Structure formats: C-alpha cells, structure tokens
Structure 1
Amino acid sequence: MKEGEAMLSITNYEGTLTEALVCRGKPVVRKNIDGVFELTLDASERDNPHSFHLLAEESIIEAGGFQFRIKQLHRKSRGNVKSILAQHIFFDNIWRRQEGTNGGHKTLNEFATFALRNTNWTFTSDFDEDGYIEAFGNDNIVKLVNQICEAFECEYEITSNSNIHFSKMLGPDNDFVYQYGDNIIELSKSVNTDNLRTRISAKGKDNLVVRYTSPQAAKWGIRDADDMSDERFSDSDNLMDKARKSLKDQPEISI
C-alpha cells in the first residue's frame, strides 16, 4: 500500500464476500448538514483488482470499525475509478417504520425504547428528563429519533454499528480534508439508492387503505416508503396502481 492510501474493507450486499479495499487519498467520515453520518472516497480498479467489482449499490464499506452502506456511486471511465458516497447503516432505519403511537409526557428512555423496539439497535444517554411528544410513532425510525432530539433539545451520536448515544454535550464534528482531482470531461455512470423503497401504504376515499409490496422486495428487503393519501380514489385496484407507480423500487441510474 502506498503512502497516503487508506485500507478499508468492502462486503457485497448479500454479505457473502468481503475483500480489502484501498482508496485514493484520505476517506472523509463526517456528519453532513442533514445529520447523516457518511463516508466519501475514491477507489480505482488498478488498486483493487479483487474488490473493485464489490463497489456496487448497497454494498457495505467498513472504515474505522464503522459500517457504511453505499448509496451513491459515480464511475469514471478515465482510470476506471469509482467515487462513493456511503451512509452509516443506522440510516437503513429510514425505511423501517414503527407502527402505532406512544406519545404524551414520557422520559427520554421511554421514547427511545419505543423508537428502537424490534431492531438490533440499543441506546445510551447522559440524561433522562421528561418531555412531551404528541402522537409519537407511525413513522420511520430515523425521523422518530430526530423528533426525540428536537423535543429534548439534544443530539445523538452513532457510537457503534448497533448503538446511538443521546447527549446535550456533543461537540462539533471534525472532518478530514478531502480533495477531488481536476475536473475532466469523461464518460460516467452514477447510481443512487437514497430513495429506493419496496413497500407503500396508500389511503383513498372513505378510509380505503391498500398496501403494495414491490417484487424488488425479494432482492432489497422490505423498505417502507412514506404513506400516501389521495381521496380521489374510491376503487382499490386504481389506488393500488397509483401506489405502485409512485414507488421508486429501482436504483436511480444516470449516464
């Protein structure tokens, strides 16, 4: 490995194959403006003859003990390089919903326990105050965690691949320096799975409710989209078709 290169590992989406990964320069691990813990890096086929093919949508990169799922991939023909943006696996919870509500006056521990129930995620905190959240629930887990932070005026930190920590004393995030090379016109292909969802519930007129599950769920698993509502629909077949067409169940690809 050359000086300045960083060694990581890459595992395919199915979890059946793991290889070492060498990136160009320093990878960046940071919390972005939306609070997402993310990793960005460049990797070339020349440096990764055995692992370059594993750099694909939804594969997992391990860096510094943290696991990041590839959400955006930009492949450059010049030098056969892939630019990667990956999010920590905690944000897989954006397509997992907690049904039911458990709002009102409760402690942080009670809200967090409800938000993370039936997951492999745990939490810690350096305080346990009472707070109020009206109609807490019926949303994806990441949104529920953010609601907790808003209600208790705190932040959360991802401390492992299965634990988050709530605190009122978290400091600023320190980013590594990362620079792309000169802008060069070249052929490229980009893949984005940020909006990939495989199931959606839709509500129509007179409390008509349908739920559509895409065949792509067999590949990507159940990923719940936000519920949709359109009272123009009173026929279940038409509403189901509307739900199906609104679902983005394939990675977004641009050339």
Structure 2
Amino acid sequence: MADILIRNIKEDKEEILVDYDKDSFVENWQENETWEVSFTVCKSDLNSMTFDLIDYENFVLWNSQRFVIKQMASYASGEQVYKDVTATHVYYTIQDCWQYNVLTGTKTIKQLLTHIFSSGNNGFSWGVIDADNTFLSVEQENFGNGNYLDLINEVLDDYGAIVIPDNKYLRFYPKDSYGKITEQQIRYKYNTDDVKFDIDTFALKTQIRGSGKKDDNDKYMFDPITYTSPESSRWGIRIQDPVEDERYTIASNMTARLKQDLHDYPDISGSVTMKWSTTVNKGDKVPFIYEPLNINTTIQIVGITTYPALPNKP
C-alpha cells in the first residue's frame, strides 16, 4: 500500500501517517456524489508529529489524490487520545467559488463550463470528453448566480454528464460513454459468494409529454411533444410527470430531453462483496455472472468502497 501523507494547509509541513488503525482506512467513491477517505488514529510515540498535523482543512494525500479534512472527532479513552477523520476530495472545495453573472440561450456544455469558470478557476481546469458528440445543446435561462459545485451539478443533470476529478482537473463524460469494457468478470463461486440485488418497477413509465417556451402572445414556440417509449409494447402506457421547461425553444431538443428523462426501465441496483481486491475502475463495464439468480449480463461500476490497507478484506 502506498504511503498516506498528512500536509498542513500552508503546505510547508508534511508527515507520513504511521501507527494508525489500518482496519479503519476506507476509500469511498460514488458517481457524481462523493469521494472521500476516512480513518482512525491513536496518538503514539511513533506518530505524535503526524497526529498533531491532523486538523481541519489540512490535507490527506493518498494514491496521488488530495483530500481535505472536513470532519473530525477527537476523543480519549483513559490515557489514549484518538481522532476519527473524514477527508473529502479536493474537487468538492469548488463550492467555495461563486459565479454571480448569468446567461440565457441555447448553450453547449462547454459554453456553460466556460461561463462557470470565467469568474476565476481557483486552480481548477477541465475538459469535455465526447468523441461521439453525444452532448446536445440545451436552452438555458439565467444560468449562474450560484456556487460552482451547484452549477456543475446543474450541468450534470441537464446534459446527462459524469464528472471524474483528478485532483483539480475535471473530466466531463456523457453518462454512458465513460469507463472501459473489461473482461474481469464478477462470478459466483469464483470471486464472490455475496450478492444482493434490488429490483422494482414503481417508477417505470413509458410515455412522457413536454412543453417549452411561450411567446409574447402566450403561444408555445413549438407544439407540446408526447414521446412514447418502445417499451410500451411490453409494459403498456404508463404516463410520467410532464416536463414544462421554458428554456426549450427547439422541438428536437425537447424530444432528446424527453427520451433522456423517461424512466422506461425497472430500477435494478446491486452490491457485490469481492473475495479479493480487483483492478476495476470508475465506470468500468464488467461481465457479471450469478447462476443462482440466472443472471448473465454486463454491469457498470458506479460506486466503489475499498480498504487499501487490507488487501484481503472484501
């Protein structure tokens, strides 16, 4: 396992973390939601300098990524003093920046990201990875006047995007096109015995209607559009809440939005506990074979929890 480093906020002091509870060190990534590390350390003769360096807003450097200590509990048991630490990836400090200006009109994802960062990049940079030109232009109205993280989350929702941070460099991908197809299968009795799947059809719908902007005469700039999924032949007509969004002035853009928003599939989610560590990465598509449930399919990795100090822990 690589060294874990603790660095102060001024970046003029740095120590290696030693003599800590290795069972407690966890890295947790969830797509577009969180990326953090956490651990518990007890002060000892071996780590006293590092222990004192563990403080709010100082950095944890792990696996070439920088995390900021945002949560910490300090407590004692007898003569032993402990710290429980949670450090969030430096990407999430982007919420400390603010774009006051707004823009309106049909915009690409690159135009919105350029607008967000035009108030200052605070060390951040970004790129859009879209070889197939999947991202469509979307009508925006008064986009801005918010912190960078909230605005980026709006972009992720509007354009169906994924952001993968590499420290302060942000890569934006279409939701279905990031990650690699890997032959590293997850298979019952081979590398997992512990599988849980949840399937429900509560949110399954097959038809949705959308309307866009009205002109000065209160008439729609294009007629409301009804999109019916091919899945309706299987499930029947099930109507989803309509989309009413005045940012849209072009019918084709609304149609693309309806296809994206329509929830025409059962919700299927699962968790798998591996017998040993694996090299799958964020977004990878992995063959998954589980004979007891008659499952032979491909799944995408949208969350990983690892215990780097314990290679034999699932």
Q: TM-score range by the shorter chain?
A: 0.5 to 0.7
C-alpha contact 1:123 1:164 (8 A) present in aligned 2: yes
Give 1:131-150 correspondences, 5 Å limit.
131-150=138-157
Q: Which amino acid aligns with 2:160?
A: E
Q: Which amino acid aligns with 1:108?
A: I
C-alpha contact 2:32 2:162 (8 A) present in aligned 1: no
| Match of residue 6, structure 2, among 10, 15, 22 | 10
1:163 partnered with 2:173? no
- Residues 39/133 of structure 1: CA separation in 2 closer, same or farther (3 Å cut): farther
1:176 partnered with 2:306? yes
Which structure's CA Rg is the greater one? 2
Q: Which amino acid aligns with 1:24?
A: D
C-alpha contact 1:6 1:25 (8 A) present in aligned 2: no
Give 1:34-113 correspondences, 5 Å limit.
35-46=33-44, 47-78=46-77, 79-113=80-114
- Residues 33/148 of structure 1: CA separation in 2 closer, same or farther (3 Å cut): closer
- The residue matched to 2:48 in structure 1 has which SS? coil
CA RMSD between the two structures:
2.3
Aligned partners of 1:131, 1:114: CA distance in 2, in Å?
A: 14
**What is the CA-CA distance between 1:104 and the residue it aligns to?**
2.4
- Residues 177/64 of structure 1: CA separation in 2 closer, same or farther (3 Å cut): closer
Aligned partners of 2:4, 2:74: CA distance in 1, in Å?
A: 19
**What is the CA-CA distance between 1:151 and the residue it aligns to?**
0.3
- Residues 6/82 of structure 1: CA separation in 2 closer, same or farther (3 Å cut): farther
**What is the CA-CA distance between 1:45 and the residue it aligns to?**
1.5
C-alpha contact 1:68 1:86 (8 A) present in aligned 2: yes
| Match of residue 24, structure 1, among 14, 21, 37 | 21
Task: Name structure 1 gaps, 5 residues minimum.
Answer: 179-255
Give 1:91-240 correspondences, 5 Å limit.
91-117=92-118, 118-119=120-121, 120-127=123-130, 128-158=135-165, 160-167=166-173, 168=175, 169-170=177-178, 171=283, 172-177=302-307
Aligned partners of 2:305, 2:104: CA distance in 1, in Å?
A: 36
Aligned partners of 1:99, 1:162: CA distance in 2, in Å?
A: 22
Q: TM-score, normalised by structure 2?
A: 0.51
- Residues 33/112 of structure 1: CA separation in 2 closer, same or farther (3 Å cut): closer
Aligned partners of 1:34, 1:42: CA distance in 2, in Å?
A: 26
Summarize deviations over 1:177-215 as a string: whole Å, max 9, x none.
49xxxxxxxxxxxxxxxxxxxxxxxxxxxxxxxxxxxxx
Summarize deviations over 1:7-37 as a string: whole Å, max 9, x none.
3111112222111113421522223587122
**What is the CA-CA distance between 1:94 and the residue it aligns to?**
1.1
**What is the CA-CA distance between 1:165 and the residue it aligns to?**
1.2
- The residue matched to 2:142 in structure 1 has which SS? coil
**What is the CA-CA distance between 1:110 and the residue it aligns to?**
0.9
Aligned partners of 1:103, 1:88: CA distance in 2, in Å?
A: 31
**What is the CA-CA distance between 1:93 and the residue it aligns to?**
1.6
Aligned partners of 1:13, 1:163: CA distance in 2, in Å?
A: 20
- The residue matched to 1:137 in structure 2 has which SS? strand
Summarize deviations over 1:111-135 as a string: whole Å, max 9, x none.
1111223112111222243123321
- Residues 103/86 of structure 1: CA separation in 2 closer, same or farther (3 Å cut): farther
Matching residue of 1:226 = none
Q: Percent identity?
A: 20
Task: Name structure 2 gaps, 5 residues minimum.
Answer: 179-282, 284-301, 309-314
- The residue matched to 1:56 in structure 2 has which SS? coil
- Residues 56/161 of structure 1: CA separation in 2 closer, same or farther (3 Å cut): same
